[in-house]
Amino acid sequence: MKSEPVASDNEITEGIDSRFLISDLCDLVAGYMDQEQVQEVYQAYLFGAQAHDGQIRQSGEPYIYHPLAVARILASMHMDVKSIVACILHDVLEDTPATRTAIEETFGEDVAHLVDGVSKLTHIKFKNKIEQQAENIQKVLMAMAKDIRVIMIKLADRLHNMRTLGSLRPDKRRRIAMETLEIYIPIANRLGIYTIRHEMEDLVLKAMYPLRYKILEHAVSKASGHRKEVINKIDKALVTRLNEMGMDAEVQKRKKHLFSLYKKMRDKHLSFNKVFDVYAIRVLVDTVDECYRVLGVVHNLFKPIPGRFKDYIAIPKSNGYQSLHTALYGPHGIPMEVQIRTEEMDLFAESGIAAHWLYKSPDESGMTGAHARARDWLTGILEMQQSAGDSLEFLENVKVDLFHDEVYVYTPEGDIIKLPRNATPVDFAYMVHTDIGNSCVAAKLDHTFAPLNTPLYSGQTVEIITSSSARPNPAWLNYVVTVKARSNIRNFLKNMRADEAVSQGRRLFERCLKGLGLRLEDVPEESMKNVLEEYGFKSVAELLEDVGMGNRSASLVVRRLVPERVAQGESEETREMRSQSPLAIDGTEGMVVSYGKCCFPIPGDSVIGILSKGRGIVIHREECKNISQTRVEIDKCIDVKWSEDAEGSFSCCIRMDVANKPGVLARTATIISDEGADIEDVAVEDRDGFTTTITYQISLQGRAHLASIMRRLRKAPNVLKIWRI
């Protein structure tokens, strides 16, 4: 039983001199290659050094240092000799006069294929940088699908480029870092190469947010003392207990990578002081059985945190990663993560598919599950390429598999639309075009109708049904997740509400002026100008909108506009004329007319309108108890009536007492549905064991419709009493 010290942040770069020499590389590969293969590596160095002779990197060092450093990364993962040779030569086709034929004649077809697969398309002119990037990535992925060593070389190449970003301009550093974050880190993760992935992530953080990186690095260093003390106590207790049980295990202490800390703080909105798993413990054993035995020991020593145990041994991750993860309350109640895995699992977790290299086998019969999964993914890459129209579409298709925080869906024409996780068909509609979003009425997911608030998943085909008379629904704001959808809905509703308010304000003005024998056009221009200045409005439209929104009484404004006519017109005849012309409500006024949720007025009811600030006119039933006090304030009350052709759906509540018998709820709901009404809500209350009260909130057309529904319900079996509330 042994214990290891805490590992450094960048395990790959630890102790690495940027001036890594060929003698160092030969010593490294000699640890697992025979002398003939080491000699082949040296011959590749001579070939590459001659080809790159006189070339200098932007850092000022000879160019050959870069291929040697890339080769070292793969040599540390014990990659085969062909991969190491291809690493040393990976830039000769792109940057030197050397030809593929020369490489093939000297080092063989395998090496030539690997070098060609990694080389960029430098001799083709592209429309823009995005297209060039897509074409180059497509070329690498296609070569990778035939020989996975291509992407291993490319990942090592990108890793060393990230290590040496300091010599580049800030804008170029950010561009390369973003490309690494979007493409290469997800590929490394998909292939299970966590060692490269973690270092790349930290280097991306350092390149894109250098100040945040320094602050976080300083915070981790400052907090190390106390955290190390806690983890050392756990380590000591665990080692002692495992020794007592006679188990041969290795206990390692690991420091969380800065990018992981940063992502956790950002995603969960935590301060550094609230992140306790800066350090973690990893226990390595020989067998799977021992993994679960160690888990029992750990949970006996320290209290596990509920809901934080994950068994990736029984159910591996998609990239083949296996381990037991658990979180504990350590000394002083500080949470601590513990990982338990076998030596083989640990090797795979660090190196991914490179840990199980099979190219020495003439067949793939001995292929591991992880390698088989990688092969399946690469087969899918080939299929994507065959169906893709161009490199940009292909790259988007690949991202579907690489990014789990984004959703990629298809239009009926096969175009790819990228959306954030939990996006809905409404988000999709606005992403396609603003007009499609504004006129959206329904959606089909994979040719089947689905609610507009249904979360989308990658790979679905989304079809939006539109109508020229449709308009955005304010309820959409409750579930859309994209900024484009949210801002467009708000802007449309704001403009629509303003237009409706202007129209409503004009109707209210005309109604008041009609009692005085005037029209809005008859108001003196000077009088209107004075009122606008007094109220602080720039135009008549702003005044009408304010009145329509219920912020100002039309009758009070009219008194200021034509005070002499108001004084002359206050006669019994005028009041009678006004009382005979109530405002007609037809249900199509939009958002400036709403209906009281206390009394649920419907067409056919005797109603009254109440001016409500910011809401326009709220319609109540005449007998509504909630407006008894408001009716005293005459300026807030509007005489209204239902138009003869009122249309739309109106909410109404009915309540019934029923015998407590099976099937009563289903039968009554069926009757309501058969009558063409929609059930918006239902509540069931058991009264005395024999009787149940059912309350339905339904959507219908008016009193005649309601009467028809209630007649049928009264005749239903076990319905004892029914009434409207």
Active site residues: 94-95
Closest to 340 (Cα-Cα) out of 382, 298, 394, 368: 298
Residue type, 98: A
Rounded to 5 degrees, what are φ and ψ at 569?
-90, 0
Amino acid identity, position 292: Y
Helix (H) or strand (E) holding 692, with range, is strand 691-700
User: In this structure, are residues 687 and 693 in contact, taking their beta carbons and an 8 Å threshold?
Assistant: yes
**How big, in percent rounded to 5, are the helix, strand and coil portions of the chain?**
55, 15, 30
C-alpha dihedral, 263 to 266 to 271 to 275, nearest 10°: -30
User: Per-residue DSSP letters for 624-680?
Assistant: -GGGTTGGG-GGGEE-EEE-TT--S-EEEEEEEEEES-TTHHHHHHHHHHHTT-EEE
C-alpha span between 337 and 590 (Å, rounded): 56
How far is Cα 462 from Cα 248, in angstroms, rounded to an integer? 55
Pick from 239, 252, 256, 350: which is nearest to 297 by CA?
Answer: 239
Q: How far apart are CA 60 and CA 167, in angstroms?
A: 9
- Letter for the amino acid at 443? A
Q: Is the dihedral of CA 358, 359, 360, 361 positive or negative?
A: positive
If we measure between CA atoms, which residue out of 156, 127, 160, 164 comes closest to residue 140?
156
d(CA 718, CA 692): 10
